[in-house]
Amino acid sequence: MSPSAVLVVSAVLFALGVLGVLTRRSAITILMSIEIMLNAANLAFIAFSRQFDHADGQVYAFFVMTLAAAEAAVGLAIVIALFRLRESTDVDELHLMRW
């Protein structure tokens, strides 16, 4: 197993996450795609941490994990507030602030 193999997996996962954010319409699925992207970044961090035999990359991955938890909590609260207002989580219907 070489570093570039792990990084390619990380890049593929990140691209799948980008694709989910760009093509899906349900707000919750978009949040889940963002989780995939954050995980792909974490995988790259840990691969580099292993490559240079240094704990810093793992600490960054730890911070990204706490960030993902905060993002999930606030994002899902927004989705709940949105659903209460519109009875839908379809982002295509939320174009009030779009020019």
Partner 1 sequence: MELVAFVILTALAVVSAGVVLLHRSPVVAALSLAANLIAVAGFYLLLNAQFLALLQVIVYAGAIMVLVLFVIMLLNLPEEARRHDRPSAQSVLGMALAVVFVAVLGWALARASSGQEFPPSSPTFGSVGSVGTALFTTFFYPFEAVSLLLVVAMIGAVLLAKRRI
Q: Which residue has the tokens 């570093």?
A: 3
Amino acid at site 5: A
Closest approach, Cβ 40 to partner 1, in A, equals 8
Q: Which residue has the tokens 């197993």?
A: 1
Closest approach, Cβ 95 to partner 1, in A, equals 13
Instruction: State the Cα–Cα distance between residues 74 and 59, nearest whole angstrom.
Output: 23
Q: Please, which residue, 58 or 96, has the CB nearer to partner 1?
A: 58
Q: Where on the chain is the footprint of partner 1 (CB under 8 A)?
A: 1-9, 11-20, 22-26, 28-29, 31-33, 35-36, 39, 42-43, 46-47, 49-51, 53, 55-56, 58-59, 61-63, 65-74, 76-81, 83-84, 89-90
